[in-house]
Amino acid sequence: MSPPSPAMAGLLQALVGASEKAGTIARLCRAEEPLFQLLVAEKSGTDKNRRFLQDFKTLADVLIQEVIKHDLGKEFPELQGHIHGEESNEFKNRQGDTVVVRVCDTPGDTAALLLSVLEPEREAAELLAAAVHRDVTLGDAELASVALSIPPQDLAIWIDPIDSTNEYIGGREDVAPIDGITPAGLCSALVLIGAYDRQTGCPVLGIINEPFYCRDPLTHRWQGRYHWGVAYGDTQLSSLSPPPPRPTPCVVLSRAEGGPVRAALGPLCGDRLCFAAGAGYKMLCVILGLADAYVLSEGSTFAWDACAPHAILRALGGGAVALAGALQARRVGDTGPPPELVYNRPAEGAVGAKRWANQGGLVAYVHPQHLEAVLAALATVPGL
Ligand code: 2IP
Ligand code: CA
């Protein structure tokens, strides 16, 4: 392998840094009173507040996405135009004017721009702008020592600024984990940044940031943590080790998952069918070995939900397959590896966000034997 250029070597670190800044902004919105009041305004129930909250919710998401885009695009000009996210940066304020949310040259300019959406909440706009312009320092020796040779011009990025937005707004801190999996609440709100190969659509680098991992026992402030993975050519690296397989798999599902899928998977898992919020969080459960597979039978996740966790799963020897395609291949006797999700191909005939839906559902796994067992069980479900 030729020695990596500094720019190439720094991409993983830059993605982690961007996720840390995003996590800080996500925490700030819950920690600083002027911002928190906006987040929870919905609960007061008046029409005016409801509208305002809707705006603020979207603004927090849009802003985080724009900060990541800005910081990565500045450091890696080759990525400009190839950084995509869940949100559009066009925003309608209460006067009906369209505001394009972006990071300006100075904190003062960014605050002025944010104020055109948040008026009259000047303090909130200034707090957000200060966080947007603050530099992040990573004290992570292991990460700093990773040298990669992945040309940024071959890659594109998917960002989910806050996955599980509803749990983020709801903010429940009192949800007890069941066998390590927390079924709902703030801890399922994640920042997801994934890089994929522009040509093949394969996920290559992934960062999952958990801004609300735990409370510091002394300061009572939220502490985050992050995980990363690289799967590029022969290189498989991760901040985590592959979890050991369980003899009887545990499968995690959305609470929205239908009866037939639950019934088909029940016998495979014994009593280990689990439920959790957040597509990213369920994939994280598999990555951490809290579950052996995440099964979703609907096209209700998107490229930005799956790209980052998928890259980490691949780094650990697993993956995320397109469920409908995998079952179809089985039915026609195809014995090759089931089709993995890809991130560079919009769904034909779809419009808006649906263009990037993971149509036909997915199965995320680390150990191939669990994927095989899940597909065998689901092959009997009519209509899948
Ligand atoms: C959502 C979020 C939801 C999930 C949905 C995602 O992303 O992760 O929780 O549904 O698939 O698209 P479920 O919890 O039923 O798995 P976002 O919160 O970013 O819209
Ligand atoms: Ca999401």
pLDDT tens for 288-339 read 999 999 999 999 999 999 999 999 999 999 999 999 999 999 999 999 999 9
Mutate to test the pocket of ligand 1, among 301, 302, 341 (most ligand atoms within 8 A of CB): 301
> Who wins on pLDDT, 384 or 34?
384
Question: What integer pLDDT is reported at residue 55 of this predicted model?
Answer: 55
Structure tokens at 268: 């495979």
Q: Choose the weakest-confidence range: 83-97, 98-112, 360-374.
A: 83-97
Q: What is the DSSP string of 295-357?
A: EE-SS--BHHHHHHHHHHHHHTT-EEEEHHHHHHHHHTT--SPPPBP-SS-PPTT--GGGGGB
Torsion sign across C-alpha atoms 39, 40, 43, 45: negative
Over residues 70-98, the mean pLDDT reads 87
Question: What integer pLDDT is reported at residue 54 of this predicted model?
Answer: 53
Question: Looking at the predicted structure, is the pLDDT value of residue 169 above 90?
Answer: no
Element (H, E) at 193: strand 190-197
pLDDT in tens, 189-223: 999 999 999 999 999 999 999 999 999 999 999 99
Question: What integer pLDDT is reported at residue 375 of this predicted model?
Answer: 97
Label residues 58-67 b or e (16+ Cβ within 10 Å = b). Answer: bbbbbbbbbb
The backbone torsions φ and ψ at residue 218, rounded to the nearest 5 degrees and listed phi first, read -85, -55
| Chain mean pLDDT for the chain | 90
Which pTM does this prediction carry? 0.93
Q: Choose the weakest-confidence range: 38-42, 168-172, 342-346, 373-377.
A: 38-42
Number of H helices, E strands in the chain: 12, 13
Question: Looking at the predicted structure, is the pLDDT value of residue 177 above 70?
Answer: yes
Ligand 2 centroid from CA 324, angstroms: 21
Question: What integer pLDDT is reported at residue 134 of this predicted model?
Answer: 93
Residue 245 CB contacts under 8 Å (≥ 6 apart), including other chains: 292, 366, 367, 369, 370
Binding site annotation covers 97? Answer: no
**Whole-number percent of the chain with pLDDT over 70:** 91
pLDDT in tens, 232-279: 999 999 999 999 999 899 999 999 999 999 999 999 999 779 999 999
Assign 45 a pLDDT band (cuts: 50, 70, 90): very low
Residue 364: Cβ-neighbour burial (10 angstroms; 0-12, 13-18, 19+): buried
Closest-approaching ligand to the CA atom of 164: 1
Binding site annotation covers 163? Answer: yes
Ligand 2 centroid from CA 164, angstroms: 6
Assign 73 a pLDDT band (cuts: 50, 70, 90): very high
